[in-house]
């Protein structure tokens, strides 16, 4: 049976950028190793969810790993909680949490949605409280981010975000998004929690210290992306091979955990631009000794897209080529490289533009594509496929196929 590495570069796809001669970052970047993969492999364009649907990173990863996100998406908070190492129980409701700064003049206007990218374990621990018999579990992950779980009777995931996704406004009231008793009760508890978070954090010693230093205080916790505990058929059961995940950011570890895929921690894998790509690639090659399939995630390409930083995205692509793909050229395994969606520099957000994908390895029908980019991929042998088709195609190449009929 064959083995495989799937490298997903977040938000890698792009649109022609007028200020760079109508080229995309993939077209401008010098990436000799990546282009050899394209030349030796089979290429195509992929609608990760389906044509015209703008993917979130969470739903996109479910699709890339062979699951239908329309059937089994539990809500973002679920992945954040699983990725933070919280064991979810039946009935739990999970959120993504952001420490933020609100004005201390009584207006509650949000001054900084990320509290200067500050958060800490001590602040998170102070928010592990109980409200009307519901236990609230808050776990700090990185910078201003937390996972938040509400545990108790009669809760529902059908409630709105508290985070208004905009500064200058006060936090939004959490409201039920379905008219049901449990959603109403959950919204009331969430609102009470946010109020208490402001009360507790405002007088926390770490914030007193920050006030003295004149840096933004993390004086409220904003919640979004309610998710429930749900279970799906584990990856190995569904596809027949043993997988592992290498990722820095908790969302991706959480998606993996949800599918029963363990994460291998790599020192220096941060989920930021300063991440240690070489260490991730080396760990992946090492992990192939004990696993059939390694999914590796690189986040920073998406961040540069959101920042509108064309040159940053180009540099990141060049680093991925030099520090990761160069190492994958010599290994005896299928190598698949793609993205979870496009994050065009010109838009600074995700778009529905399909992403390029290449599969390189034994027995693939090499096509005429010579370079890895959005335009070259369009003439590849894979044609245009959906994200959910990728793992079945790979399973067949690896020899873990299931025949339909006899
Ligand atoms: Zn993404
Ligand atoms: Zn993004």
Regarding whether 381 and 306 lie in a shared domain, the answer is yes
Other beta carbons within 10 Å of 42: 22
Range of 244's domain? 4-72+232-398
Domain count, the chain: 2
Ligand nearest to the CA of 341: 1
Predicted confidence (pLDDT) per residue in 96-148, tens digit: 999 999 999 989 999 999 999 999 999 999 999 999 999 999 999 988 999 99
296 and 375 assigned to the same domain: yes
- Give me ligand 2 centre to Cα 89, in Å: 29
For helices 250-258 and 76-83, give the axis angle rounded to 10 degrees: 100
Ligand 1 is an ion; its neighbours by CB within 5 Å are 10, 57, 302, 340
**Domain assignment of residue 403, yes or no:** no
Query: Does a structural domain hold residue 406?
Result: no
In a domain, 243, yes or no: yes
Do 89 and 221 fall into the same domain?
Answer: yes
Q: How far is the CA of 18 from the centre of ligand 1 (A)?
A: 24
Q: Which ligand is nearest to the CA of 10?
A: 1
261 in a structural domain: yes
Over its length of 406 residues, how does the chain's per-residue pLDDT go in tens digits?
999 999 999 999 999 999 999 999 999 999 999 999 999 999 999 999 999 999 999 999 999 999 999 999 999 999 999 999 999 999 999 999 999 999 999 899 999 999 999 999 999 999 999 999 999 999 999 889 999 999 999 999 999 999 998 899 999 999 999 999 999 999 999 999 999 999 999 999 999 999 999 999 999 999 999 999 999 999 999 999 999 999 988 899 999 999 999 999 998 777 677 778 999 999 999 999 999 999 999 999 999 999 999 999 999 999 999 999 999 988 999 999 999 999 999 999 999 999 999 999 999 999 999 999 999 999 999 999 999 999 999 999 999 988 889 8
Residue 24, phi-psi category: left (phi > 0), alpha (psi -120 to 50), beta (remainder): beta
Confirm whether 288 is domain-assigned. yes
CA of 341 to the centre of ligand 1 (A): 6
Instruction: Point out the ligand nearest to the CA of residue 349.
Output: 2
Burial of 125 (0-12, 13-18, 19+ CB in 10 A): exposed
**324 CA distance to ligand 2 centroid (A)?**
21
Instruction: Count the Cβ atoms, other than its own, within 10 Å of residue 182.
Output: 18
> How many angstroms separate the alpha carbon of residue 200 from the centre of ligand 2?
32
DSSP string, 261-292: PPBPP-TT--SSTT--HHHHHHHHHHHTTT-S
pLDDT digits (tens, 9 = 90+) for 157-172: 999 999 998 899 999 9
Distance 171 CA to ligand 2 centre (A): 22
On whether residue 358 sits in a domain, the answer given is: yes
25 shares its domain with 97: no
Cα angle 293, 295, 298; round to 5: 160
Last residue in a domain, options 206, 227, 248: 227
Distance 57 CA to ligand 1 centre (A): 4
Distance 299 CA to ligand 1 centre (A): 7
- Asked if the structure places residue 181 within a domain, the reply is yes
Structure tokens at 43: 């290429």
- Among the bound ligands, name the one nearest to the CA of residue 347: 2
Q: Are 333 and 22 in contact (CB under 8 A)?
A: no
Q: Are residues 98 and 122 in the same domain?
A: yes
> Cα of 3 to ligand 1 centre, how many Å?
25
**Residue 7 near residue 339 (C-beta atoms within 8 A):** no
Q: Which of 174, 209, 227 is the last residue of a domain?
A: 227
Are 68 and 95 within one domain?
no
Asked if 65 and 86 sit in the same domain, the reply is no
Residue 405 lies in a domain: no
pLDDT (0 to 100) of residue 271 = 66
Q: Are residues 32 and 172 in the same domain?
A: no
State in Å: Cα 301 to ligand 1 middle: 9
pTM: 0.91
Task: State the distance from the centre of ligand 2 to the C-alpha of 21, rounded, in angstroms.
Answer: 25
pLDDT at 402: 81
Q: Where are the alpha helices (DSSP H) in 57-144?
A: 57-64, 69-72, 76-83, 121-125
Do residues 179 and 260 both lie within one domain? Answer: no
Mapped onto helix, strand or coil, the DSSP state of residue 404 is coil
**Is 124 in the same domain as 210?**
yes
Q: Which residue, 185, 212, 227, sits at the end of a domain? A: 227
Q: Are residues 211 and 147 in the same domain?
A: yes
- φ and ψ at 272, to 5 degrees? -120, 180
pLDDT for the residue 330:
85
Q: Which ligand does the CA of 9 lie closest to?
A: 1
Q: What is the CATH number of the domain that holds 288?
A: 3.40.720.10
Give distance in angstroms: CA of 255 to centre of ligand 1.
12
Is the domain of 242 the same as that of 369? Answer: yes
């Amino acid at each position: 049976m064959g083995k495989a590495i799937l490298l997903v570069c977040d938000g890698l796809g792009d649109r022609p950028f007028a200020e760079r001669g109508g080229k995309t970052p993939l077209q401008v970047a010098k990436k000799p190793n990546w282009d050899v993969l394209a030349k030796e492999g089979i290429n195509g364009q992929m609608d990760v969810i389906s044509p015209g649907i703008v993917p979130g990173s969470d739903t996109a990863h479910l699709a890339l790993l062979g699951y239908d996100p329309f059937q089994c998406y539990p809500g973002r908070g679920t992945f954040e909680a699983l990725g933070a190492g919280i064991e979810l129980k039946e009935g739990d409701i999970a959120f993504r949490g952001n420490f933020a700064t609100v004005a201390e003049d009584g207006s509650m206007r949000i001054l900084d949605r990320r509290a200067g990218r500050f958060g800490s374990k001590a602040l998170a621990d102070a928010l592990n409280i109980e409200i009307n018999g519901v236990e609230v579990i808050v776990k700090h992950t990185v910078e201003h981010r937390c996972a938040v779980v509400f545990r108790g009777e009669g809760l529902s995931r059908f409630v709105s975000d508290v985070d208004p996704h905009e500064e200058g406004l006060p936090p939004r009231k959490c409201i039920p998004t379905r008219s049901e008793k449990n959603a109403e009760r959950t919204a009331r508890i969430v609102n009470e929690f946010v109020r208490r978070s402001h009360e507790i954090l405002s007088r926390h010693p770490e914030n007193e210290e920050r006030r003295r230093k004149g840096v933004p205080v993390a004086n409220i916790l904003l919640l979004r992306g309610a998710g429930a505990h749900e279970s799906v058929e584990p990856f190995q059961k569904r596809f027949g091979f043993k997988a592992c995940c290498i990722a820095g950011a908790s969302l991706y570890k959480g998606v993996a955990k949800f599918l029963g895929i363990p994460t291998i921690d790599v020192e220096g894998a941060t989920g930021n631009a300063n991440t240690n790509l070489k260490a991730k690639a080396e760990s992946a090659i090492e992990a192939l000794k004990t696993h059939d399939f390694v999914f590796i995630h690189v986040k920073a390409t998406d961040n540069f897209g959101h920042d509108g930083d064309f040159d940053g995205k180009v540099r990141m692509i060049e680093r991925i080529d030099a520090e990761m793909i160069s190492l994958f050229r010599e290994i005896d395994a299928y190598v698949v490289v793609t993205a979870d969606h496009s994050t065009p520099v010109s838009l600074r957000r995700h778009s529905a533009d399909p992403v390029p994908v290449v599969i390189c390895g034994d027995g693939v029908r090499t096509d005429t594509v010579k370079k890895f980019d959005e335009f070259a991929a369009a003439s590849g042998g894979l044609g245009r496929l959906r994200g959910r088709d990728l793992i079945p195609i790979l399973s067949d190449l690896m020899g873990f196929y299931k025949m339909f009929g006899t």
